[in-house]
Amino acid sequence: MADMDISGSASSEGFASVGLFSSLASYLERGIGTVEGWLSPTTASILAQLLVEQVRAGLRGDVCEIGVHHGRLFMVLANAQAPGERAVAVDVFGHQEKNVDRSGRGDRAVFERNLGRYAPAATVEIVQESSLDLQRLGFLSHRFRFISIDGGHTAPTVANDLRLAERTLLGGGIVALDDILSSHWTGVLTGLAAYVGAGGTLVPFALVPNKLLLTTDAAAAGQGRALLRRLFPLALAKPDLEFLSGTVDSYDDHPHYDRETCGNLHRALDALRGERDALASQLAQVREEAARLQREHDALASRVAAAEAHATRLQASTSWRVTGPLRTVVGLARGRG
């Protein structure tokens, strides 16, 4: 995001027109509601748009989620891949003894069925392991442009996951940290504070429904704020809030960005626009015919006016007055005849 051009005209719905991301638009409109998980419609739209803007800006790298559950958010990541990228899914799945805080209970079989249904063309790597063991498994060799952290919600796990993200994130990349202000999972905020206190360098730039967005540096954070303000103005609740040692904008849910619920409304609007265009074409034809008739009327009126003017000139002429008696005699003779 550090090199992102934010002067374009993209909207939260505009990426549907980009052929590369047609499957992403389809998932948001028709699939996301069928996948179990916790992800608000506005947040889904925001994350999807950020992923697409990264590709538009030329940022290339893998995408990752730690704690995928059944894949509600992961399908967004998987469908936002550019050619040559991978989507990495990290979850303990069946090893629930490693899920110390019981913050989720993902089912790998369900997750893989959802992948087959909603992201069949995606290149996916599944890592069935605790994020606390990722470093020894060579995880640091990855380079990500986007990482979702939604695994263990204890303070040590969150701090660990943020450090992993910091070390694997490309410049201008984005981290989405789940449940940051949840009263049920206070370990997330505690872990973030511990990470920052230990010298963590990730910079927060936005609070979206149930997630904190962070990036690699202050310049990228400023661009991220500007981008979201332009693309999601209806959801912007409060700008420039103090957050730890930085500044964030706060976004709330807004029905305009619920693509799934609004899908039928969008299609109905498209149909109405089609009817409007057809009526406009008919109206144009009627106006053209009316213009033709008006031209004919004007030409006829001009001829009548010319004839009337000629008659007036004739009646006023000397010859007309001189031959008046003769015309009278002729008229009487014709009458008698």
CATH number at residue 246: 3.40.50.150
Q: How far apart are CA 102 and CA 152, in angstroms?
A: 8
Q: Are residues 142 and 218 in the same domain?
A: yes
Nearest to residue 158, comparing CAs of 135, 178, 183, 129? 178
Q: Are residues 187 and 307 in the same domain?
A: no
Q: How far apart are CA 252 and CA 250, in angstroms?
A: 7
Per-residue confidence band for 30, with pLDDT thresholds at 50, 70 and 90: confident
Q: Are residues 230 and 151 in the same domain?
A: yes
| Higher-pLDDT residue of 107, 70 | 70
Last residue of one domain, picked from the residues 208, 224, 257 = 257
Q: Are residues 197 and 289 in the same domain?
A: no
330 domain residue, yes or no: no
Q: Does 17 score more than 80 pLDDT?
A: no
Please give the tally of structural domains in the chain: 2
Per-residue pLDDT of 221-279, as tens digits, reads: 999 999 999 999 999 999 999 998 889 999 999 988 887 665 555 555 566 677 888 88
Biggest CA-to-CA distance, the chain: 130
Q: Are residues 27 and 41 in the same domain?
A: yes
Q: Which helix (H) or strand (E) holds 264?
A: helix 259-316
Q: Does 173 score more than 90 pLDDT?
A: yes
1 domain residue, yes or no: no
pLDDT at 264: 52
Q: What is the DSSP letter of 13?
A: T
- CA 64-87-255 angle, to 5 degrees, is 70
Instruction: Supply the mean pLDDT for the chain.
Output: 86
Q: Are residues 230 and 301 in the same domain?
A: no
pLDDT at 120: 94
Per-residue pLDDT of 32-79, as tens digits, reads: 989 988 899 999 999 999 999 999 999 999 999 999 999 999 999 999
Q: How far apart are CA 180 and CA 219, in angstroms?
A: 23
**Residues sharing a CB contact under 8 Å with residue 118, sequence separation 6 or more, in sequence order:** 23, 27, 31, 35, 71, 75, 78, 79
Last residue of one domain, picked from the residues 222, 242, 257 = 257
Q: Which helix (H) or strand (E) holds 144?
A: strand 144-149
Q: Are residues 157 and 270 in the same domain?
A: no
Q: How far apart are CA 32 and CA 258, in angstroms?
A: 11
Last residue of one domain, picked from the residues 235, 257, 279 = 257
pLDDT at 221: 97
Nearest to residue 165, comparing CAs of 189, 149, 151, 152? 149
Per-residue confidence band for 13, with pLDDT thresholds at 50, 70 and 90: very low
327 domain residue, yes or no: no
Letter string b/e over residues 26-41, b meaning 16 or more CB atoms within 10 A of that residue's CB: ebbbebbeebebebbb
Q: Are residues 152 and 56 in the same domain?
A: yes
Q: Are residues 187 and 286 in the same domain?
A: no
Per-residue confidence band for 5, with pLDDT thresholds at 50, 70 and 90: very low
| Higher-pLDDT residue of 113, 272 | 113
143 domain residue, yes or no: yes
203 domain residue, yes or no: yes
Q: Are residues 252 and 281 in the same domain?
A: no
70 domain residue, yes or no: yes
List the domain range (segments joined by +) for residue 318: 263-322
CA 172 vs CA 107, 178, 190, 218, 224: distances in Å: 32, 19, 25, 10, 9
Residue 247: beta bridge partners? Answer: 242
Q: Does 143 score more than 70 pLDDT?
A: yes
313 domain residue, yes or no: yes
Share of the chain above pLDDT 90, in %: 62
Q: Are residues 67 and 204 in the same domain?
A: yes
Q: Are residues 76 and 148 in the same domain?
A: yes
What is the sign of the dihedral through the CA atoms of 83, 109, 151 and 207? positive
Would you state the torsion angle of the CA atoms of residues 164, 210, 180, 196, taken in this order, to the nearest 10 degrees? Answer: 50
What average pLDDT does the segment 138-166 reach? Answer: 95
3-state secondary structure of 128: strand
117 domain residue, yes or no: yes
Per-residue pLDDT of 279-314, as tens digits, reads: 888 999 999 999 999 999 999 988 988 888 887 887
